[in-house]
Structure 1
Amino acid sequence: MKKVKLVIYDREFLELSYDWLNNTELRAFTLSPEVTREEQNIFFTSLEKRSDYKIWGIEYNNVKIGACGFKYIKSEQAELWCYIGNSSFWGKGLGRYILNEMFRRSKSLNINEIYLHVSKYNIRAIKLYESCGFLKIKEENDLVLMEKNMVECIFFNEKYELNHGLPVNSSSLFLSQEFIDFQCNIQGKVAERFSLIEKSSKRVIAQLVLSTLDGKVWSSPVTGAFGGLDGVSGIKSEEIELMFDKVCHWLKVMYPVEKIVIKLPPDCYCDNVSQKVANSLFRTGWALDSFDLNYHLNVKDDVSCFRKGIGSSKKNRINKLDRTNAVFECEVLNFEDSYNVIKMNREAQGYPMTMDWSSIEALTVNFPSRVRYFNIVRSGVILASSICLLLNYNYIYVFYWGEHPEYRKESPIEKLAQGIYEFAINNNIDVIDIGTSTENSTPNQGLMSFKESLGCSISSKLTFCKVYYNEKN
């Protein structure tokens, strides 16, 4: 995971900048003049009082590598500048991560239009800026002026207005602004945000976020089990279709789009919007990319409802664990120990972890109220663990779970499932999403049988795609 951070620009960065900007190659690409130490000190001293200039140091894995900022900040407009001064980190693909973090900072500074100047000979930088949504405005004296609007109206008629760039406001974790920014920064993706506004009431009736790594393949969600359209209850099919049509058109104008992928929530999510989206996409020519089977538990008022849904052998194993003083733990202190049990379980079955511990830890630190760890513990030993995500107030998603390989014969995962069910009852959660048992539509019969034996219900989970063929072909 690339850990790029924008940090306070201190005197250590100032000293490094003096050395970096004495590199003639860097100075040529950044269009920077030669400066003396005295001029640098005057500049640094002035920063505290300036409202038209913001600067940050850039760190990569805690190593100081460069600087970036906004200048000429005025009337929601600013010029972006950025450089990696440490040449050891050139060509590492860090530029996109830095730009994404700067886009996030621009929102807090109320900057809606960003422009920059770049040498026409700096082809790599120009391609990066274009892939992040900048447009070439003009070329003069070997300099290219490029601009990016952070908020703009891209379509309107007598009833609706479609805006690009407004922050999203969703109660669902995967569609929230904070989660999108977090994942884009980690993965180096660019996210474009769209909001459909009803002009008469001035209310946002739908929002859609699409992200990309290369400008060619776009997807919702940025990452996660599902994404799709976040819309108000009662949204009309014609409004959904209008939004997707205009968003796709805008993306095609702005980027070299080849494919757009929409991974919808499973039917058990019960948001009353996704089914309409599926119908609209199907009727307007989108292809069904995958049809997956998702498993979930509908939470009733008492844990006896869970026990009724499982067989007698599973009840007996849970009772036996109870007699050996195995307990369900919902206030976990050492998260990494839980992760390691799950990792051992997956490795023993030949499945790698899709996220390393540092990535899970970052997710936990940034979303402490959304990430929950649960264990089955006996005499201080973890028999089974799970990492769950509270996607909204009444829906929990089992992100990972697994048994310690040494205790698989006791099936502690069954007692863990019962414990999560009890937790859901106590926290007014209606649905426990245990995830798919198919991969790209292909069934995993072992997983399907196991989840069905826990009393899970099945719901469909659809992914749609739209492919744009190269006109030359």
Structure 2
Amino acid sequence: MEDLYYNINSQQIIYCDNNCIQLNKFINPLFFDTEEFHQYHQKFAEKVYRIFFCNNNKQIAYCYIGLKNGIMKAPYSSPFSMVYVKNKYRINQICSVIKGLIDCAEILKCEKIMFSLPPEIYLPEVINSEWAAFSSNDFKVEKIDINNYFNLLKFQDKELFLKKSIHSLRQNYNIALKNNLIFTEIPIEKFKLAYDVIKINRKEMGYPLKISENQMNDLIHMKELTCRCFGVKKEDNFIATAIVFDVTKDISQVIYWGDIDKYRKIRPMNMLTVNIFEFYRNLGKKYLDIGPSSENGVINNGLADFKKSIGCDNNIKITFKYEL
């Protein structure tokens, strides 16, 4: 991974001493944009750059990009990425940075830029400003994915939540209880118990398992990440599990969750989801990001309806494109 410094005034890449980098001056990064995450994932791109955008010798923003087949991509190996500005920023600075990103792509001889921003729950004011700045600089919307999240602030306690939920959720949760299913947190050193159920689920559902077991092991041992695993047991066997990352101080993301098909009728997923909501509400988190219910802009109606049935709200994740 290499640091680049782009001077907005001269529209050139400039030299800057690495000792002058002060990341603590910028808004806190998502876990997916920590230096540790990118140092590990740079193997998934031909080249990875951390670009600092400078104005009058002052760093005003930075972002991480990866080069693949002549395309500048952000992210190149995670769900989303963003441009990091200082806490006190101006809209014209963000617009200048996005224009500078185009200049950097030209200098690096890229044919295209692809940039997927996070859903707005992560930092609404900044992300909305970046949406507008991409559009203002003639980026086109490549795709819009529907994303689901659970607002933990509306979860007061389990009993009240179930009482206010739709009938099918209460009914399915009671089915799980009647079948003596047990929810438990899985110790992180035994994450393979959760991962193995996810592997079975993905195979049965025909979904890809993009994070290998070895990669997951490396991720959960990163200093910048807090990861937790959960499961629902029938007797001594896990029949539904989840792997969840803390992406920010206030927001955690479900990386994977799923059940085993032959146990689906006893509703382990309803027990899993409700208890995970309660767990993260008790931790003081604000949102649980459940992830997209679409792939390349095409909605999976069954998945979207399931997430809606357990109380999730919708937002969107936008991918912008610029062709040079």
- When the two structures are superposed, what TM-score results if normalisation uses the length of structure 1? 0.61
Instruction: Please name the residue that 1:356 is paired with.
Output: 212
Query: Match for residue 126 of structure 2?
Result: 273
**Aligned position for 2:94:** 240
Q: Secondary structure at the match of 1:288?
A: strand
> How far apart, CA to CA, are the structure 1 residues paired with 2:85 and 2:285?
22
- What is the deviation of 1:188? 4.5
Alignment check: 8 A CA contact 2:5 2:51 kept:
no
Q: Mark the CA change 1:264 to 1:309 in structure 2 (over 3 Å): closer, same or farther.
A: farther
Counterpart code for 2:143? S
Deviation readout 1:53-109 (Å, 9 max, x if unpaired): xxxxxxxxxxxxxxxxxxxxxxxxxxxxxxxxxxxxxxxxxxxxxxx5xx6xxxxxx
Q: CA deviation at 1:366?
A: 2.6
Q: State the alpha-carbon separation in 2 of the partners of residues 432 and 211 from structure 1.
A: 28
Q: How does 1:91-102 map to 2 (within 5 A)?
A: 100=1
CA distance 1:369–1:282, shift in 2 (3 Å): closer
CA distance in 2 between counterparts of 1:430 and 1:168 reads: 25
CA contact under 8 A between 1:385 and 1:402: conserved in structure 2?
yes
Q: Does 1:303 align with 2:157?
A: yes
Question: Following TM superposition, by how much is the alpha carbon of 1:342 offset from its aligned partner in structure 2, in angstroms?
Answer: 1.0
Give structure 1 stretches of 5+ with no counterpart: 1-99, 104-149, 469-473
**Greater C-alpha Rg:** 1
- What pairs up with 1:38-437 in 2 under 5 angstroms? 100=1, 150=3, 152=5, 154-156=7-9, 166=21, 170-185=28-43, 187-197=44-54, 204-214=59-69, 216-253=70-107, 255-300=108-153, 301-304=155-158, 306-308=161-163, 310-332=165-187, 333-367=189-223, 369-437=225-293
Q: Indicate if the aligned counterparts of 1:387 and 1:400 stay in contact, CA closer than 8 A.
A: yes
Cα distance in 2 for partners of 1:379, 1:322 equals 13
Query: Matched residues in 1 for 2:306 and 2:104: separation?
Result: 45
Q: Which deviations, in whole Å up to 9, do the C-alpha atoms of 1:156-189 show, x marking residues without a partner?
A: 47xxx9969757564410111111111113x254
- Give the whole-Å Cα distance in 1 for the aligned partners of 2:176 and 2:144: 37
Q: Relative to structure 2, which stretch is displaced further, 204-213 or 293-302?
A: 204-213
The alignment yields a C-alpha RMSD, in angstroms, of: 2.6
Consecutive unaligned residues of structure 2, counting only runs of 5 or more, are none
Task: Find the residue that maps to 1:272 and give its secondary structure.
Answer: helix
Q: Alignment identity in percent?
A: 23
Secondary structure of the corresponding residue to residue 125 of structure 2: coil
Amino acid of the residue matched to residue 61 of structure 2?
Answer: A
Question: d(CA) in 2 for partners of 1:397 and 1:403?
Answer: 18
Q: 1:167 to 1:412 in 2, by over 3 A?
A: farther
- The 3 A distance-change label for structure 1 pair 283 and 293 is same
Structure 1 residue 292, shift from structure 2 partner: 1.1
Q: Distance in 2 between matches of 1:242 and 1:270?
A: 20
Asked if 1 retains the 8 angstrom alpha-carbon contact of 2:9 and 2:55, the reply is no
Paired AA for residue 391 in structure 1: V
- TM-score, scaled relative to structure 2: 0.87
Task: State the 1:263 CA deviation.
Answer: 0.3
Measured in 1, the distance between the counterparts of 2:98 and 2:315 equals 25
Q: Which amino acid aligns with 1:311?
A: I
| Alpha-carbon offset, residue 312 of structure 1 | 2.1
User: Which of the pair has the greater relative contact order for Cα pairs under 8 Å at 6+ separation?
Assistant: 2
Judge conservation of contact 2:31–2:224 (CA < 8 Å) in 1: no
Conserved in 1, the CA contact under 8 Å of 2:148 and 2:314? yes
Query: 1:206 is matched by which residue type in structure 2?
Result: A
The secondary structure found in structure 2 opposite 1:260 is strand
Q: Mark the CA change 1:210 to 1:167 in structure 2 (over 3 Å): closer, same or farther.
A: farther
For 2:103, what is the secondary structure of its paired residue?
helix
3-state DSSP of counterpart to 2:289: strand
- How far the C-alpha of 1:380 sits from its partner, in A, is 1.9
Tell me how many residue pairs correspond in the alignment.
313
Q: 1:225-254: per-residue Cα shift (whole Å, max 9, x none)?
A: 11011223452221011112223213312x
